[in-house]
Structures are given as C-alpha cells and as structure tokens.
Amino acid sequence: MLILLPFLALLTTSTAHPPSREHAKANDGLTVQTSSGRLHGKIDSAAPNVRQFLGIPYARPPLGDLRFAPPVPLDQSRVNIEAKAILPSCLQYFTASPANAFNQDVLEYNLGGLNTTGRISEDCLTLSVWTPTTSSHRSRATESHRKGLPVIIFIYGGGFSTGGQDVPYQKPTQWIQRTRDHIVLVPNFRSNIFGYPSAPGLAQQNLGTLDIRTVVNGPKRISLHLAEILCT
C-alpha cells in the first residue's frame, strides 16, 4: 500500500538573532521574556547545541463554548511558563497508550509502528520552538547572517487526522544539533472532527487551519526577545 503523507514546511520571512554574550552567560539563554509569557526552556544532554522551548500555549483551550470556535489568542505576557516538556497532542486515534488496534495490529496505518504519539487532549493548542545555542556560521560576517537565522514553521503530516509535536521521527532536535543554521517552530492544531467537522450548523469549518493561521500570521506576537528568536 502506498501511503502519501502531506508534510509541509513553511519558511517564513522571520529571522532570529543570537543572544548577547552577557545575557547568555546570565541564564544560558534558557529564560526569556516573550509576548507569550516568560519562558523557561531546557537543553537536552543528547543535543547540547539546541535550546528547547516546549509546550507554549498560543490560544485559549478549545473547550466548552470554544470547542468548535476559531482560536482565541492568549494574552499572557506576564505569566511564567515552564517550557520544558511537549504537552498533549490534539485528539486523534493515534496514541502510544493504552494499547489499541492502531498501535498494536494495524501498523500499515501507523507507518509500521513509528507514529508513537503520546498523550492526547482537547486542551492542545500549544507550540514548541527548537533553536541553536550558537550559529555554526557565526564567523561568517555576511549580511544574511547579521540579519539572523531563518525561522521555519513546520506543519506536521497526518492527513489532518493525526500528528503532533511528539512524533519521534518529526522532531527537529538532531537536525538543528547538526546544522545550527535555522530555528524550527512546530504548532499543534486541531484535527479530524474537532478541526474539520463539516457540520452545516457551524459558522466555521476549517478550525485546524485557523489554528495554523494564528501561528503563521503572528510571528511578532511569538517572539523571544534578547534570546534565540527575535522575529521581524
């Protein structure tokens, strides 16, 4: 069976600047003030050249009256966020536990068992950012580098039915560890019936796409000032 996966990576016009030496020395660049809150990130020992800011909320939880509504951006600039773990993916039939047909038996729908999406929840509108500690081309005093590193917004595959930030083979950690030439931002977005309900009684149908647009259209709102990401 041939399975086509609609992966899409969008290269935005945003750029990112490395932290000042004084700021990086003060906190290793892992605590940054942003318009999305004061973030406290982490560095994994398996990827020491990559700073990770994980599970950053970008919209109000789509619960209750917001379940089938467009995303409502958050105003949480004064909130402290422990951005050290990927939070649950949006509701879907792929999940690592409990055991079910899709992670035990029908593996052709699960990329041979490679899709091991973990926890799932309706409260899932978060994004994660992976950024190099330093650029591999810092010594190149080129105009393009002085303007900063490119920011890639990666929209994971899954046919708008499955997917998330925690699918192992889609995480950009090792890619950035190896190249240190770019920054990757991955948002969760609502999928299947919660993102694309096709219900005539609803004013909006493409809720998952609206989730994505909230992130893609707002790079200035999601900025890590004085640290790895300074979107312009």
Tens digit of pLDDT for each residue in 34-75?
A: 877 899 999 999 999 999 999 999 999 999 999 999 999 888
Under a CB-based contact definition with an 8 Å cutoff, are residues 188 and 164 in contact? yes
Domain 8-59+71-216, CATH among 1.10.580.10, 3.40.50.620, 3.40.50.1820, 3.30.390.10: 3.40.50.1820
Per-domain boundaries in the chain: 8-59+71-216
- Of all residues in the chain, the percent with pLDDT exceeding 70 is 65
Predicted confidence band of residue 219 (pLDDT cuts 50, 70, 90): low
Please determine, for residue 231, whether its predicted confidence score (pLDDT) is greater than 60: no
DSSP per residue, 51-70: EEEEEEE-B----GGGTTS-
Please determine, for residue 141, whether its predicted confidence score (pLDDT) is greater than 50: no
- Picking from 110, 109, 212, 196, the residue whose alpha carbon sits closest to that of residue 155 is 212
Tens digit of pLDDT for each residue in 148-192?
A: 788 899 998 888 888 888 877 788 999 999 998 889 999 999 999
Predicted confidence band of residue 122 (pLDDT cuts 50, 70, 90): very high
Which tops the pLDDT comparison, 147 or 112?
Answer: 147
Amino acid at 1: M
Q: What is the pLDDT of residue 42?
A: 95
Using CB atoms within 10 A of its CB, is residue 107 exposed (0-12), middle (13-18) or buried (19+)?
Answer: middle
Report the SS3 class of residue 27.
helix
Please determine, for residue 230, whether its predicted confidence score (pLDDT) is greater than 70: no
Angle ∠(72,123,9) on CA atoms, nearest 5: 75
Report the SS3 class of residue 77.
coil
C-alpha dihedral over 77, 64, 125, 83, to 10 degrees? 50
Q: What is the pLDDT of residue 23?
A: 45
Adjacency order of strands within the sheet including 80-82: 31-34, 37-40, 80-82
Predicted confidence band of residue 142 (pLDDT cuts 50, 70, 90): very low
Under a CB-based contact definition with an 8 Å cutoff, are residues 184 and 174 in contact? no
pTM, to two decimals: 0.76
Neighbours of 67 (CB within 10 A): 13
Total residues found in the chain within this entry = 232
Under a CB-based contact definition with an 8 Å cutoff, are residues 225 and 18 in contact? no
d(CA 64, CA 86): 23
